[in-house]
């Protein structure tokens, strides 16, 4: 059975984070079956647990996910699957998230590839989706940010996930045409089964 999908539309990061944490606690207690949240954030930088102290400057939101600094903003569809993992295997879960990104790209006729370390998805050698999660009691928190039609300038303020900002792109640039957030949300909704299938990921 597929989880409920809720599109939060355009939203600031702090209240969305509070919603995620509350939902995660409910799923961990067994009070909720889980939900996949879709959101387009107001501009924000977040720092995962692997971010060095000297990179944690004022204005960056420290959070419990893995990885380093990333950016969320207009033109990016961030997907938060607050669900119990189908298998008790974090590596499997990261691969599922990557395959989810690959499936979204395929929806637009693009051949995407997984990263080598479970942290993102690439098309033509450039990164359009970043992954960062925190798994507690085998319930996922945080998720995957899919660049749809972004101003890429904010990426150049940081080293996204420890990489050169020049590696970043979005699906519109890769497809050679402007894509809308509604199109991306529809593609993500169609691909959710990749995350929840009981068997192995694609």
pLDDT single digits (tens) 71-97: 999 999 999 999 999 999 999 999 999
161 is catalytic: yes
From the list 17, 112, 146, 161, the catalytic residue is: 161
Strand partners, 35: 4, 82
Pairwise CA distance, residues 80 & 60, whole Å: 20
pTM score over 0.85: yes
pLDDT surpasses 90 at 57? no
Beta-carbon count within 10 A of 50 CB: 13
Sign of the dihedral defined by the CA atoms of residues 172, 19, 80, 165, in that order:
positive
pLDDT surpasses 90 at 125? yes
| For helices 90-107 and 181-191, angle between their N-to-C axes, nearest 10 degrees | 130
Per-residue pLDDT band for 201 (boundaries 50, 70, 90) equals: very low
Q: Which domains does the chain have, with CATH numbers?
A: 4-196 (3.30.930.10)
Closest Cα to residue 130, out of 157, 106, 84, 165? 165
């Amino acid at each position: 059975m597929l989880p409920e999908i809720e599109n939060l539309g355009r939203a600031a990061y702090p209240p969305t984070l509070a919603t995620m944490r509350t939902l995660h606690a409910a799923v961990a207690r067994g009070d909720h079956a889980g939900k996949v949240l879709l959101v387009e954030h107001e501009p924000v930088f977040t720092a995962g647990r692997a971010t060095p102290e000297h990179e944690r400057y004022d204005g960056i939101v420290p959070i419990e996910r893995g990885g380093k600094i990333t950016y969320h903003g207009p033109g990016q569809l961030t997907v938060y699957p607050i669900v119990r993992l189908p298998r008790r295997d974090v590596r499997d879960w990261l691969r599922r998230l990557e395959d989810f990104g690959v499936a979204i790209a395929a929806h637009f006729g693009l051949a995407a590839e997984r990263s080598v370390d479970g942290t993102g998805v690439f098309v033509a050698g450039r990164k359009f989706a970043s992954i960062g999660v925190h798994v507690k009691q085998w319930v996922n928190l945080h998720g995957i940010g899919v660049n749809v039609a972004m101003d890429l300038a904010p990426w150049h303020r940081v080293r996204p996930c420890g990489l050169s900002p020049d590696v970043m792109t979005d699906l519109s640039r890769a497809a050679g045409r402007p894509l809308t957030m509604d199109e991306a949300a529809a593609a993500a909704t169609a691909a959710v089964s990749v995350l929840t299938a009981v068997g192995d990921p694609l």
